[in-house]
Amino acid sequence: MRPGNRRGSLLAALVSALLVAATLTAPAAHAAPPLPQEDPFYRPPSPLPAGSPGTVIRREPVTVQLGPGIPADARAWRVMYLSTDAEGRRNAVTGTVLVPRAPYEGKRPVVGYAIGTHGLGDQCAPSYGLRIGLDYEGVFIGGLLAKGWAVVVTDYERLGTPGDHTYMVGRSQGQAVLDSLRAATRLADAGLPADSPMVVTGYSQGGASAGWAAQLKAGYAPELAVKGVAAGGVPADLTEVAKSLDGSLFFILLGAAAVGMSSAYPELPFEEHLNAQGKALLEDARDDCIGEALALGKGAFKKMSDLLDTDLLNTPAWQEKLRANRLGGGETPAVPVFQYHAVYDEMVATGQARTLRKEWCQAGATLRWKEYPTPEHALTLVAGASDATAWLADRLAGKPASANCPA
C-alpha cells in the first residue's frame, strides 16, 4: 500500500467514526421520525398499482435538513414510485424530491442525485437521513439547490423498503435514478414539467448508478431531457474492484456487494456457502450504515476465502451476473459524460475506471475525463464536486460538451 493510500484510508475511517459520533450525539430539537423499518410509508402496496415506471405511488411533504440543524431552503416530499429491477420486474422505490423556494427564471433544471454507499440497513436510506440532518451528502445536495436546481434523491431498490438492498447492482440502480426523474415531474405539487432540462450526478456507488443511467437512458427513458451525466469514482467492473477490496480495510464493501447481488438474483448461491465466521459477520453487518461498519472495523482485512467454503465469485453463475452489471462493454452513453477518479484510489481501483473511459470512448461517447492527485477515494468526492457541478451547469446552459478521449 502506498503511504498516501494508508493515510487516506485512516482518514476515511476517522471521518466515518466522526459521522457515527454525530449520529449518536446530535441534539434532537424534535422527536425523530420513525425508522423506515417501522414506518408504513416504506411498505409497498401488494399488488403494485398499475402504471409505467416513474408513476408516483404515494407522496408526503417533509422537512429536510442538509446537516444537523441546517434546514434546506426548499419544499420537499418523500415519494414512493414505480421502477424496474435488474431482471425487468416492476418494483417500488422511495426517494426525496426537493424544489428551492426561490423562483427560477425559465424552466427549472432537475438533478437526479445518485447517492454513494450508505449501507444495507433501512435506516441508512437518504430519505430518512435527510429528514434528521445526518446524511453525509447533504452538503453536496445543498450546493445544487443553491443554484436554483430541483433535486431528486433516490433510495435505490430495497434501501428503506423491505428486503436486502440490491447494493452495486448497476442496472437496478441506473433505472431507479432515471425513474426518480420521471417521478419528480409527475409530482404535481413540485411544478416540474415533463420536459424539464435534467442532469445526473453521483460518486462511488452513485458514480456507477449515474454511469448506468447514462448508458441505459436511450433504451429505457428516451423521453427524458438529460443533458449530461457526471460520474465519479466509478466501480464499473465489480470483479476488478473485488480484487482491491479483498483483504483490505474496506472488505465490508465487498461483502455488502455480495449481499446486494444475491438479493437481486435469488438464484445465485451465497448464504449456504458461508461458514460460521461468514454467517456471524453477515448477521452483524446486515443492518448497518456504512459509517458504523467502517468506524467499528467490521470485516477489516478479511478475505472472501475466510468466509466461504468455495471461490464463489469466480463460479460461472456469479461471473455471468457480474458481467451483466459491468459498465462499458461497447455500450455507448446517450448523453455527454464527465468521468473523474482519484489517481491513488484505495477503494475503487483506478485501472478499471480507465478501462471504462477507453471503452466508452471507443464506442463513440462524448466523454470528458479527469484524474485527481488525491490519495484516497472519499476525498475525491470533495475534490471533484465543484468541477462536476460546473460541467453540469455548462450542459444546462447549452454549451457544447468536448471530449478528451485518448488518441
Alpha carbon of residue 169 to chain centroid: 10
Instruction: Tell me whether strands 198-203 and 110-114 are parallel, antiparallel or unpaired.
Output: parallel
Per-residue pLDDT for 21 more than 60?
no
Number of helices followed by number of strands (H, E) in the chain: 13, 11
Q: Please give the DSSP secondary-structure letter assigned to residue 177.
A: H
**What are the chain's domains?**
3-237+323-396 (3.40.50.1820), 238-322 (1.10.260.130)
Looking at the chain, the whole-number percentage of residues with pLDDT higher than 70 is 93
Average pLDDT over residues 30-41: 92
Burial class (CB in 10 A: 0-12, 13-18, 19+), 88: exposed
Per-residue pLDDT for 29 more than 60?
no
Q: What's the pLDDT score for residue 31? A: 79
pTM, rounded to two decimals: 0.93
Report the length, in residues, of the chain.
407
- The model's pLDDT over 161-207, given as tens digits with 9 standing for 90+, comes to 999 999 999 999 999 999 999 999 999 999 999 999 999 999 999 99
Q: What's the pLDDT score for residue 30? A: 59
Higher pLDDT, 188 or 407: 188
How many other C-beta atoms can be found within 10 angstroms of the C-beta atom of residue 330?
9
How far is the C-alpha of 95 from the C-alpha of 176, rounded, in Å?
Answer: 9
Per-residue pLDDT for 67 more than 60?
yes
Instruction: Tell me whether strands 150-154 and 74-84 are parallel, antiparallel or unpaired.
Output: unpaired
Joined together, the cell numbers standing for residue 305 give 476465502
**Which of 11-25, 48-62, 129-143, 225-239 is least confident?**
11-25
- The model's pLDDT over 218-257, given as tens digits with 9 standing for 90+, comes to 999 999 999 999 999 999 999 999 999 999 999 999 999 9
